[in-house]
Amino acid sequence: MKEDRIMETQSLHLTGVSNGRTLAGYRTQDGRTIRPHKLLRTGMLAKATPQDVDLLVNQEHLGMIIDLRTETEARAVFRGSPDFAGKADTLICELMQHPTVTDQRWKHRIIAGYSLAGLFGLYACTKTDLFDGCVSCSGSLWYP
């Protein structure tokens, strides 16, 4: 059986945020491997302690948080910052200018998301031709 990852999932050892880990070491479908400091997953970031934020920003080099939940689902990630609310068009504009997304070395750009992020991916593809495709996993197509 082919091994899906070359190293164990590594905990980020966050104290206020559950299930924080790096996905470094997982093999991609094309045989490459996710490099350290490139892909993280966590539980609710709104519970991050100042030490958690320091670790995420300074050790894991966190540069962008994409949270596509609705206003009622998504409170501010960091204390003192505003709650999230209906900013899909703003995020699309940011993505269209982000150097990682616009890098011309990419052969294809495919946006993917689960639940509301899946809905966002479909919506983004109707607003820009930046993406060659979309993967919407359990997209929240019921959402008004």
Q: Which of 63, 95, 114 is the last residue of a domain?
A: 63
Print the domain residue range for 38: 1-63
Closest CA to 24 of 3, 46, 2, 40: 40
For the residues 32-49, what does the mean pLDDT come to?
A: 78
Percentage of residues of the chain with pLDDT beyond 70: 75
Q: Which of 28, 63, 98 is the last residue of a domain?
A: 63
Task: Provide the number of structural domains found in the chain.
Answer: 2
Closest CA to 9 of 39, 43, 45: 39
Is 98 domain-assigned?
yes
| pLDDT tens-digit map of 72-127 | 455 665 667 666 566 788 888 888 888 888 888 888 888 888 777 888 888 888 88
Q: Residue 25 pLDDT more than 60?
A: yes
Is 76 domain-assigned?
no
- What's the rounded Cα separation, in Å, for the pair 130 and 111? 10
